[in-house]
Amino acid sequence: VPDARPPVPPAPDGLLAALRAVVGEANVVVDADVTAGYERDWTGRFVGRTPAVVRPGSTDEVAAVLAACTAAGVRVVPQGGNTGLVGGSVPLAGEVVLSTRRLDDVGPVDELAAQVTVGAGATLARVRAATLPAGLDVGVDLAARDSATIGGMVATNAGGLRALRHGPMRHQVVGIEAALADGRVVSHLRGLLKDNTGYDLPGLLCGSEGTLAVVTRVRLRLVPVLAHRATALLAVASWADAMALVAGLRRVLPGLEVVEAVDRIGVDLVADAFGIRVPFTPTPAVAVLVECADVRDPLDDLAAALADRAEVVDAAIADDPQRRAGLWAVRERCTDAVATLGVPTKLDVTLPAAELAAFAVDVHAVVAAVAPGARVVVFGHVGDGNLHVNVVVRPGAGSGAPPGPDPGADVHERVTVAVFAEVARRGGSISAEHGIGTAKRGHLHLVRSAEEVAVFRAIRAALDPAGTLNPNVLTPPA
Ligand code: FAD
Ligand code: MLT
Ligand code: ZN
């Protein structure tokens, strides 16, 4: 099969030698078979080329790599687990990839403060494995936990499955260390909860998508492990009922931690793709996953709350880990199930509560008008108003067919424009948790004023005047 990718751009004379001097020969990867894994994003939609993947092993090495690249006029894409869904982690225009995966140290758990300091390249799963034995957990959880890194989660301000209770990544970060493009390091890791001494750099770097600095270490606030959990998968007849259910449960269940939803198309797809058992026949219009966590078993409280809700057509409820995992699979496998169809247009939107149900219905007609025959799968974190609209154009293919080819940039763009117009019309946001990346930067004007974008550009220019860091993301092309 011919390689359709663009040719590898050459690195300027002397740069690779300078990088090898910083990180060692083995950590400047130029072998095309190895760099390929860093050049393609998780969805397969965004593919580029890099002259080298550099893998520093300490903050000082990150700083020196950045200084060398800036001095050579070479741009850099920071990359953690490469699970991002907006094309922000891959070298689309021949940038050097700075992989943070060797920065994976996890410090001792500070049980007194309920905090831990970790390397930016540590995966969420690795950090949790260190904190759980101390009865403490990271407030954010997501299905990509085995690969997503803390640095990537900070850079995207990841939301995930428990944002309803604990907020997104920005709420977990109490200290940060980062290297600027010119090689200076800013470090403020004391983790004091009250510390009004100027601008909030952790807050600024959360959601900065690798455009302002490379995060090297993070001080995380931890939340108590609540040992008792009860989970319910509920059949409801409409998105309007799902929203009424969310509002009702929120009022009576203080231990409510998760409210997720998957539409009928998504439930059938997960069942077909992975043989996951769905406890309802027929498949409901919307399946809602609810979880409560508490210091005592919340099963009875959850069951009593559900018994009072007319929206619940059918219910499966469990408090043992194995059956709970079975219910969770219907929601957690949605991303993988969509990927079995082909290269999706992934849209991650927030709607005002009063608009969400109508949007979830109307989005099918909105997509059909610009991409007739496309498969539209809607799921998401309905408890915080965040829906994931996944569109796969695969003309003529039936269930079980191999994944279709990428429909091309024009189709992705047409679908994006149509869905975002509907989101904007209803007062929503074009990114809830995945970020803007490269996929959405041309649409930022829908939700950010010209003045706000000018401030964004000024902040970028102040921290990275040479424009070294992640040039293809966040702010619209000039
Ligand atoms: P990458 O993909 O490597 O990078 C993402 C962005 O961060 C890029 O712009 C990159 O340049 C930048 N970056 C990475 N590391 C650094 C650093 N140290 N310093 C500066 N910039 C950096 N997201 C959610 O919010 N909620 C979910 O529920 C969720 N579920 C997911 C489920 C699956 C199956 C998958 C595949 C993805 C999911 N995601 C979710 C998206 C993704 O996991 C998150 O965006 C995650 O935060 C990315 O982490 P990463 O380490 O893979 O970052
Ligand atoms: C999720 O909630 O499952 C993730 O954000 C990933 C996705 O949108 O596919
Ligand atoms: Zn999500």
Question: Closest ligand to 156 CA?
Answer: 1
251 falls in which pLDDT band (50, 70, 90)?
Answer: very high
Q: If you average pLDDT over residues 273-284, what whole number do you get?
A: 96
Q: Which residues surround ligand 2 with Cβ inside 6 Å?
A: 143, 334-335, 346, 348, 388
Query: Tens of pLDDT along 171-210?
Result: 999 999 999 999 999 999 999 999 999 999 999 999 999 9
222 falls in which pLDDT band (50, 70, 90)?
Answer: very high
Return the percentage of the chain with pLDDT > 70, whole number.
98
CB half-sphere exposure, 71, CA atoms < 13 A? 13
4 falls in which pLDDT band (50, 70, 90)?
Answer: low
CA dihedral 328, 260, 412, 432 (to 10 degrees): -130
Distance between Cα 162 and ligand 3 center (Å)? 10
Q: How far apart are CA 222 and CA 436, in angstroms?
A: 27
| The pLDDT value given to residue 477 | 85
Pairing of strands 96-99, 53-54: parallel
Which residue minimizes the CA distance to atom 46 of ligand 1? 153
**Does residue 403 have a pLDDT over 90?**
no
Q: How far apart are CA 37 and CA 79, in angstroms?
A: 11
DSSP conformation letters of 262-331? EEHHHHHHHHHHH----S-SSPPSEEEEEEEEESS--HHHHHHHHHT-TT-SEEEEE-SHHHHHHHHHHH
Q: How far apart are CA 184 and CA 166, in angstroms?
A: 33
Return the percentage of the chain with pLDDT > 90, whole number.
94
Query: Tens of pLDDT along 462-478?
Result: 999 999 999 999 999 87
Query: Tens of pLDDT along 109-121?
Result: 999 999 999 999 9
Q: If you average pLDDT over residues 232-241, what whole number do you get?
A: 98
Distance between Cα 292 and ligand 3 center (Å)? 19
Which residue minimizes the CA distance to atom 8 of ligand 2? 388
Decide if 306 contacts 246 (C-beta within 8 A): no
Which residue minimizes the CA distance to atom 44 of ligand 1? 84
Q: Within a 10 A sphere around the Cβ of 457, how many other Cβ atoms? A: 14
Q: How far apart are CA 216 and CA 104, in angstroms?
A: 9
- 214 CB under 6 A from ligand 1? yes
- 89 CB under 6 A from ligand 1? yes
Radius of gyration in angstroms for the set of CA atoms belonging to the chain, rounded to a whole number: 22
In the block, tokens 């998401």 appear at 380
10 falls in which pLDDT band (50, 70, 90)?
Answer: confident
Secondary structure letter of residue 442 according to DSSP: G
434 falls in which pLDDT band (50, 70, 90)?
Answer: very high
Question: Closest ligand to 473 CA?
Answer: 1
User: Mean pLDDT score of the chain, rounded to an integer?
Assistant: 96
- In 3D space, the residue among 216, 215, 220, 205 whose CA is nearest the CA of residue 58 turns out to be 216
| The pLDDT value given to residue 319 | 94
331 falls in which pLDDT band (50, 70, 90)?
Answer: very high
Q: Within a 10 A sphere around the Cβ of 465, how many other Cβ atoms? A: 11
**Does residue 3 have a pLDDT over 70?**
no
Q: If you average pLDDT over residues 107-136, what whole number do you get?
A: 98
- Give the Cα-Cα-Cα angle 145, 110, 191 (nearest 5 degrees): 85
Determine whether 405 is exposed, middle or buried from the number of CB atoms within 10 Å of its CB (0-12, 13-18, 19+).
exposed
| The pLDDT value given to residue 8 | 84
Query: Tens of pLDDT along 348-367?
Result: 999 999 999 999 999 999 99
- Give the Cα-Cα-Cα angle 474, 384, 258 (nearest 5 degrees): 120
**Does residue 102 have a pLDDT over 80?**
yes
- 140 CB under 6 A from ligand 1? no
| The pLDDT value given to residue 323 | 97
